[in-house]
Amino acid sequence: MSDRMKIGHLFPIKSAPLPHDKTSKTNAGRTPQSTEFRDLLESKTLKFSHHAEVRMEQRGISLQPESLSQIMKAVDDAASKGARDSLIVFKDIAMIVNVPSRTVVTAMDGNQMKSNVFTQIDSAIILS
Protein backbone atom coordinates (compact mmCIF):
# COMPACT_ATOMS: atom_id res chain seq x y z
CA MET A 1 0.00 0.00 0.00
CA SER A 2 1.22 3.50 -0.69
CA ASP A 3 2.04 6.09 1.96
CA ARG A 4 -1.28 7.84 1.34
CA MET A 5 -3.98 7.46 3.95
CA LYS A 6 -7.73 7.29 3.57
CA ILE A 7 -9.50 10.42 4.76
CA GLY A 8 -11.79 8.56 7.16
CA HIS A 9 -8.77 7.09 8.93
CA LEU A 10 -7.24 10.49 9.63
CA PHE A 11 -10.31 12.46 10.51
CA PRO A 12 -13.27 10.16 11.14
CA ILE A 13 -16.63 11.79 10.58
CA LYS A 14 -18.42 9.60 13.11
CA SER A 15 -16.88 8.96 16.47
CA ALA A 16 -18.05 7.74 19.83
CA PRO A 17 -19.89 10.43 21.75
CA LEU A 18 -18.04 12.10 24.55
CA PRO A 19 -19.57 12.06 28.02
CA HIS A 20 -21.92 14.95 28.73
CA ASP A 21 -22.32 14.53 32.50
CA LYS A 22 -19.73 16.84 34.05
CA THR A 23 -20.56 15.67 37.57
CA SER A 24 -19.85 11.94 37.24
CA LYS A 25 -16.39 10.68 38.14
CA THR A 26 -14.21 8.39 36.03
CA ASN A 27 -12.17 5.51 37.43
CA ALA A 28 -9.19 7.81 37.97
CA GLY A 29 -11.33 10.15 40.09
CA ARG A 30 -11.39 12.93 37.48
CA THR A 31 -14.42 14.46 35.80
CA PRO A 32 -14.96 13.70 32.10
CA GLN A 33 -13.75 16.24 29.57
CA SER A 34 -16.06 19.21 29.22
CA THR A 35 -18.15 20.01 26.20
CA GLU A 36 -16.02 23.13 25.72
CA PHE A 37 -13.01 20.92 25.03
CA ARG A 38 -15.02 18.81 22.59
CA ASP A 39 -16.25 21.96 20.84
CA LEU A 40 -12.69 23.27 20.56
CA LEU A 41 -11.47 19.96 19.17
CA GLU A 42 -14.29 19.81 16.62
CA SER A 43 -13.63 23.42 15.60
CA LYS A 44 -10.10 22.43 14.55
CA THR A 45 -11.02 19.21 12.72
CA LEU A 46 -11.71 19.09 9.00
CA LYS A 47 -14.70 16.87 8.27
CA PHE A 48 -15.76 15.28 4.99
CA SER A 49 -19.40 14.83 4.05
CA HIS A 50 -20.49 11.43 2.80
CA HIS A 51 -20.90 12.96 -0.66
CA ALA A 52 -17.33 14.30 -0.60
CA GLU A 53 -15.93 10.94 0.53
CA VAL A 54 -17.77 9.14 -2.28
CA ARG A 55 -16.60 11.67 -4.89
CA MET A 56 -13.01 11.48 -3.68
CA GLU A 57 -13.05 7.69 -3.87
CA GLN A 58 -14.68 7.71 -7.32
CA ARG A 59 -12.16 10.22 -8.62
CA GLY A 60 -9.11 8.64 -7.01
CA ILE A 61 -8.40 11.65 -4.82
CA SER A 62 -6.40 11.03 -1.69
CA LEU A 63 -4.67 13.52 0.57
CA GLN A 64 -1.54 13.11 2.59
CA PRO A 65 -1.35 14.48 6.15
CA GLU A 66 0.78 17.46 5.06
CA SER A 67 -1.83 18.37 2.44
CA LEU A 68 -4.62 18.16 4.99
CA SER A 69 -2.68 20.49 7.28
CA GLN A 70 -2.39 23.10 4.51
CA ILE A 71 -6.09 22.79 3.71
CA MET A 72 -7.07 23.13 7.39
CA LYS A 73 -4.94 26.28 7.65
CA ALA A 74 -6.71 27.66 4.56
CA VAL A 75 -10.08 26.97 6.22
CA ASP A 76 -8.84 28.80 9.34
CA ASP A 77 -7.83 31.77 7.17
CA ALA A 78 -11.21 31.77 5.41
CA ALA A 79 -13.02 31.65 8.77
CA SER A 80 -10.98 34.59 10.07
CA LYS A 81 -12.24 36.66 7.13
CA GLY A 82 -15.87 35.66 7.62
CA ALA A 83 -16.16 33.24 4.70
CA ARG A 84 -19.04 30.78 4.70
CA ASP A 85 -18.60 28.61 1.60
CA SER A 86 -15.17 28.51 0.00
CA LEU A 87 -13.64 27.00 -3.07
CA ILE A 88 -10.22 25.67 -2.12
CA VAL A 89 -7.91 24.74 -5.00
CA PHE A 90 -4.95 22.64 -3.92
CA LYS A 91 -2.63 21.43 -6.69
CA ASP A 92 -5.02 19.61 -9.06
CA ILE A 93 -7.86 19.22 -6.55
CA ALA A 94 -10.79 21.57 -5.97
CA MET A 95 -12.98 21.36 -2.89
CA ILE A 96 -16.04 23.24 -1.77
CA VAL A 97 -15.85 23.70 2.01
CA ASN A 98 -18.54 24.93 4.35
CA VAL A 99 -16.30 27.04 6.57
CA PRO A 100 -18.42 27.38 9.75
CA SER A 101 -18.85 23.61 10.02
CA ARG A 102 -15.36 22.90 8.62
CA THR A 103 -16.90 20.33 6.26
CA VAL A 104 -15.70 19.47 2.76
CA VAL A 105 -18.94 19.26 0.78
CA THR A 106 -17.53 17.98 -2.50
CA ALA A 107 -14.21 17.48 -4.24
CA MET A 108 -13.02 17.12 -7.80
CA ASP A 109 -9.77 16.57 -9.63
CA GLY A 110 -8.28 18.63 -12.44
CA ASN A 111 -10.33 16.96 -15.17
CA GLN A 112 -13.64 17.75 -13.49
CA MET A 113 -12.52 21.35 -12.76
CA LYS A 114 -12.12 22.25 -16.42
CA SER A 115 -15.00 24.23 -17.89
CA ASN A 116 -16.79 24.11 -14.56
CA VAL A 117 -18.75 26.95 -13.00
CA PHE A 118 -18.58 27.16 -9.22
CA THR A 119 -21.68 28.70 -7.70
CA GLN A 120 -22.88 29.48 -4.18
CA ILE A 121 -19.41 30.30 -2.87
CA ASP A 122 -18.32 33.53 -1.27
CA SER A 123 -14.57 33.04 -1.41
CA ALA A 124 -11.80 31.16 -3.19
CA ILE A 125 -8.41 30.09 -1.89
CA ILE A 126 -5.65 28.96 -4.22
CA LEU A 127 -2.92 26.94 -2.51
CA SER A 128 0.35 25.96 -4.12
Please say whether the beta carbons of 62 and 7 come within 8 A: yes
For every residue of 24-88, DSSP letters joined together read S--TTS-PPPPHHHHHHHHHT--EE-HHHHHHHHHTT----HHHHHHHHHHHHHHHHTT-SEEEE
Domain ranges of the chain: 7-127
Whether 28 shows a pLDDT value over 70: the answer reads no
Whether 9 shows a pLDDT value over 60: the answer reads no
pLDDT tens-place string over residues 70-114 = 999 999 999 999 999 999 999 999 999 999 999 999 999 988 888
Report which of 91, 104, 94, 102 is spatially closest to residue 124, judged by C-alpha positions: 94
Whether 43 shows a pLDDT value over 80: the answer reads no
Which residues does residue 107 pair with via DSSP β-bridges, in sequence order? 95
Whether 16 shows a pLDDT value over 60: the answer reads no
